Structure 1
Amino acid sequence: MTDPREDMLRALRDAYAMERDAERLLGNHATRSTPDPEVNARIEAHLTETLANQKSLASCIDRIDANDTIQQTFPDDSPAAIETGDIVQTPDEVVRSLVNLYVFKHQEIASYTSLIAIAEANGFFETKLACETIALQQIAMADWLLDHLPAATKAYLGQGGSAALTG
């Protein structure tokens, strides 16, 4: 039989690592400006949400085990500030990046859905609430990406790009 507390901590550590991966993906996109200011602004806003999610998950871990070393396991190696506009992505890079982010958002949604079930089943209700909040952010971002992929794709095709964007 597994220990519910350890199961919860393991799942939270996995979610924290996933948020660190999201930070890198979003950071890479944010440092490479797209031709669309709305896309740039939304990516940067979601990066800010992602950093807040990391803090929320670290707080959940600390509530369950004050001796956990999540910050030592994942040292803060994020840049102090994201600077945009240095490199402009080509339209095909924008589309590929948005597709990759969309897929990653759905992985996060599935992971948080599972994490919410673990928290609920084991009585970690503050953690459940925190994860539900994060899951809603992931769903909102996935929906936003889905809404904006057609325009990004059409912009790419309008500049002579190939229709084979996902391969």
Structure 2
Amino acid sequence: MADTSETRSIFVTGLKNAHAMENQALSIMKPQVSRIENYPEVAARLEQHIRETEGQIARIEEVLKSLAEDHSSLKDMALSLTGSMAAMSHSVAGDEIIKNSIANFAFENYEIAAYKSLITIAEHGGFPGLAPALKSNLEEEIAMAKWLDDNLKSVTMKFASLKEAGERAKI
């Protein structure tokens, strides 16, 4: 695939979408981590991933800047609002930590797919020099998805144990 204006447009749109997606991720994770009391391992990993996500946003901004483009504030705002609403909807659930864990795992896999697509466009669409930043983001998303997958059982078991003991298990 050559560096055509249509390919560039697809790539830039994908980058703007990824920027908004990462802002949405922050709007989901920050309320979650602020509410966690009984799952310090989850809070610590979310805090780490919040820092990673902030770095991912900076990488995307650098890629956009190298293309003389900027992120879409409207997309950022819309997806951040959607993320905040999703985080709030789980806060009223009796099993908030479980719902958050499942939703976070699904979202991480969505991000993985988005970065794989962006990397494909970058490598085969005439922007191979921009792929390394996106690969860094992808690696962090894969690591977070793996952590969530590896820890879903223990979080679920801890939730069940706390509930059975009559303790506050929700968060």
TM (norm. structure 2) is 0.78
Say whether the 8 Å CA contact 1:33–1:89 is kept in structure 2: no
Residue in 2 that maps onto 1:160: 164
Shift of 1:4: 1.7
- DSSP 3-state at the match of 2:164: coil
1:14 maps to 2:23: no
Q: Which residue of 1 aligns with 2:54?
A: 51
SS in 1 for 2:110: helix
Match of 1:150 among 145, 153, 166: 153
Give the aligned residue type for 1:37. Answer: P
1:123 corresponds to which of 116, 122, 126: 126
Identity %: 29
Offset of residue 63 of structure 1 = 0.3
User: Which structure has more helix as a fraction of its residues?
Assistant: 2
CA deviation string 1:35-59 (max 9, x = no partner): 1211111100100110111111011
> Per-residue deviation at 1:91?
7.5
Q: Give the count of matched residue pairs.
A: 148
Give the equivalent residue in structure 2 for 1:61: 64
* Distance of 1:133 and 1:63 partners within structure 2: 17
What is the CA distance between 1:127 and its match in structure 2? Answer: 2.0
Q: Which has the higher contact order (CA 8 A, sep 6+)?
A: 2
1:98 aligns with 2:101: yes
Amino acid at match of 1:160: E
- 1:34 and 1:94 in contact (8 A); partners too: no
Distance 2:104 2:94 in 1: 15
Among candidates 140, 144, 147, match of residue 141 of structure 1? 144
The alignment status of 1:70 with 2:74, answered yes or no, reads no
Shift of 1:113: 0.6
Quote the offset at 1:34 in angstroms.
3.5
- Could you say what the CA RMSD is over the residues aligned between the two structures, in angstroms? 2.4
CA-CA distance at 1:132 after TM superposition = 0.8
The aligned residue for residue 116 of structure 2 is 113
Q: Is the 8 A contact 2:108 2:141 kept in 1?
A: yes
